[in-house]
Amino acid sequence: MASIWRRRKDGPYYITYTIRPGTRKTVCGCKDKKATEALARKLEGEAMLRAKGVIDSAAEKLAHWDAVPLDRHLVDFERMMRGKGGTAEHVGRTLAYIRDFLSLCGFKKQADLDAAKVAACVTDLKRDGLPPREKARKRRPLSARAVNARLTALKAFTRWLFRTGRMRTDPMMQVAKLNSRIDRKRVRRALADDEVSWLIRTAEKGPVVRGMAGRDRAMLYRLALETGLRASELASLTPASFSLADPVEATVKVAAAYSKHRRDDILPLRRDVAEAVAVFIEGMPADDRLFAVPDKTAEMIQTDLAAARDAWIEEADTDKEREARTKTTFLSDKDGSDRVVDFHALRHTFITRLARSGVAPAVAKSLARHSTITLTMDHYTHTLIGDERAALDRLPGITPVTPEAEVARATGTGDFCAAQGDPGRAAPGAARRDPNGSQLAITRHDGPAGKTGGKRAQTRAKTTTCARSSRRVIGGPRWIRTTDQGIMSPLLCR
């Protein structure tokens, strides 16, 4: 039985009732005793029906969560992301992406979530973009990758609602992402080795750019090019992040809170890089940040690229050479294919240099800290025109076949062996050897016929050469058309 009681004379009534055998619960009622008694009978009746299985407690819980606004769910979702170690930047960006979709589609509660509306919003975002926050600005279409970033955040939110028992199903499971390969607004390129040298050298001698001194920028670029670390990961480094006691076994550690996959990363360092870092951090406190990385790293590196390009052009010996350099895209922030160079392009350069050095794909994937080899090879590995030309130079040359040689091959005459430079046909007066190195015959075609055994001996040697050569390369380019074993037998040549 439920009991009704008061804590104060003028306060509300409280209800204490049994929700299951041995467990009682107290809830606040109202100041009116009769209304509180009615509420107590209702609560006690529902508890009895729930205990007998008439009321499904899981369905009742889902109904409770359905009534909660999505904004309140987002608060719990944010708490979950921060509890997993997500950075403030990542959490804020993810929540902003989710709110973009909720605002565009008009979703207020869980029942409003609809896959068809989201698919329509995806099309609108790709075509028109987001509504500008400032009235003076125009809407700009978003790339497929930018749309997918927002869609990924929304799908993560609805998947969390489903896994935590707040929704019966995940309505966004069937919404497919766009193909970002065929619609990329920003394609990066990898720098050549000469461009890397000019960039670091110019930055080291350059003035302060966006709050960073030239020496700091040069070391920042070098670490990005030698380790593949991202800008946020480089910004988290301190002298304590490096293990430089043994230059041969030197490493750098990125804490899990700053790593993209949220676990500690320990990367090896080349000996020369380790020695340069040791000089750079000498005298610095162990917990001080090495670099004050600015927000707009692309503008910083493009400033250094422009300065390096100017210096490279001015270094030309003649006016003609200087004019020729101005027409190239060397050290340009954008090449002829509209591929750009920003700070993240240094990571592309690191992985591309690994591939060009012959590093095994599995090792490159491990150093890049990628989840799949496809991402390493397809997205981050670039080929340069010089690499393609070098690959072509390694191909064996193709000797064009003359019309006379075609006729000889079609008829199976002996002249075909000599015309094609048969390996079994020796030069006049030389010993012929098969591919295994054994001597086959000695033939001479100069001098009187009597000194070499006569014309019959010359003909026999010539026929034997062609027959043996034909047998060695059956199916190859020197095989004669005739397949009669009697004609091909060297015994019939005597």
* 466 and 488 belong to one structural domain: yes
Tokens read off for 167:
């929704």
Mean pLDDT of all residues in 140-150: 84
Q: What is the CATH number of the domain that holds 386?
A: 1.10.443.10
- Distances in Å between the Cα of 399 and the Cα atoms of 420, 421, 472, 477 are 10, 11, 21, 12
pLDDT for the residue 70? 92
- Of the two residues 347 and 43, the one the predictor is more confident about is 347
Q: pLDDT band at residue 144, thresholds of 50, 70 and 90?
A: confident
Q: Per mean pLDDT, which range of 189-198, 259-268, 382-391 is the poorest?
A: 382-391
Q: Per mean pLDDT, which range of 123-132, 280-289, 408-417 is the poorest?
A: 408-417
* 203 and 331 belong to one structural domain: yes
Q: pLDDT band at residue 178, thresholds of 50, 70 and 90?
A: confident
CA 397 from centre of chain: 36
Mean pLDDT of all residues in 240-268: 86
Residue 357 pLDDT greater than 90, yes or no: no
Asked if residue 102 is part of any domain, the answer here is yes
Asked if residue 173 is part of any domain, the answer here is no
Please report, rounded to a whole number, the percentage of residues in the chain having pLDDT higher than 90.
32
Q: What is the pLDDT of residues 87-107, one digit of tens each?
A: 788 899 999 999 988 988 889
- Of the two residues 171 and 373, the one the predictor is more confident about is 171
For the chain, report the end-to-end CA distance as a whole number of angstroms.
123
Asked if residue 168 is part of any domain, the answer here is no
Residue 234 pLDDT greater than 90, yes or no: yes
- Of the two residues 343 and 385, the one the predictor is more confident about is 343
Q: Per mean pLDDT, which range of 68-72, 130-134, 144-148, 262-266 is the poorest?
A: 130-134
Which one of 355, 380, 397 terminates a domain? 397
Q: Which of 303, 321, 299, 320 is nearest to 312 (CA)?
A: 321
pLDDT for the residue 391? 66
- Structural domains of the chain, count: 4
Q: pLDDT band at residue 439, thresholds of 50, 70 and 90?
A: very low
pLDDT for the residue 2? 79
* 85 and 109 belong to one structural domain: yes
pLDDT for the residue 39? 87
Q: Which long-range contacts (CB under 8 A, 24 or more apart) does 471-478 make?
A: 472/424, 472/434, 472/435, 477/409, 477/420, 478/409, 478/416, 478/417, 478/420, 478/422
Residue 24 pLDDT greater than 50, yes or no: yes
Q: Per mean pLDDT, which range of 51-65, 112-126, 225-239 is the poorest?
A: 51-65
Which one of 346, 367, 397 terminates a domain? 397
- Of the two residues 379 and 472, the one the predictor is more confident about is 379
* 205 and 348 belong to one structural domain: yes
Q: pLDDT band at residue 175, thresholds of 50, 70 and 90?
A: confident
* 451 and 436 belong to one structural domain: yes
* 359 and 314 belong to one structural domain: yes
pTM more than 0.95:
no
pLDDT for the residue 290? 92
* 75 and 131 belong to one structural domain: yes
Mean pLDDT of all residues in 241-270: 87
Mean pLDDT of all residues in 273-297: 91
* 240 and 382 belong to one structural domain: yes
Q: What is the pLDDT of residues 384-437, one digit of tens each?
A: 656 666 666 767 767 666 677 666 666 666 544 444 444 444 444 444 444 444
Q: pLDDT band at residue 184, thresholds of 50, 70 and 90?
A: low
Asked if residue 226 is part of any domain, the answer here is yes
* 279 and 420 belong to one structural domain: no
* 415 and 486 belong to one structural domain: yes
Mean pLDDT of all residues in 462-489: 48
Asked if residue 258 is part of any domain, the answer here is yes
* 152 and 197 belong to one structural domain: no
Residue 205 pLDDT greater than 50, yes or no: yes
Sequence-distant (6+) residues with CB within 8 A of 149 are 97
Average confidence score pLDDT of the chain: 79
Asked if residue 227 is part of any domain, the answer here is yes
Q: What is the CATH number of the domain that holds 111?
A: 1.10.150
Which one of 381, 397, 413 terminates a domain? 397
Q: pLDDT band at residue 293, thresholds of 50, 70 and 90?
A: very high
Domain containing 32 equals 3-55
Residue 488 pLDDT greater than 60, yes or no: no
Q: Which of 292, 283, 290, 275 is nearest to 241 (CA)?
A: 290
- Of the two residues 184 and 321, the one the predictor is more confident about is 321
Mean pLDDT of all residues in 19-33: 82
* 387 and 436 belong to one structural domain: no
pLDDT for the residue 435? 44
Asked if residue 440 is part of any domain, the answer here is yes
- Of the two residues 28 and 139, the one the predictor is more confident about is 28
Asked if residue 171 is part of any domain, the answer here is no
Edge to edge, what strands does the sheet with 265-268 contain? 242-243, 251-254, 265-268
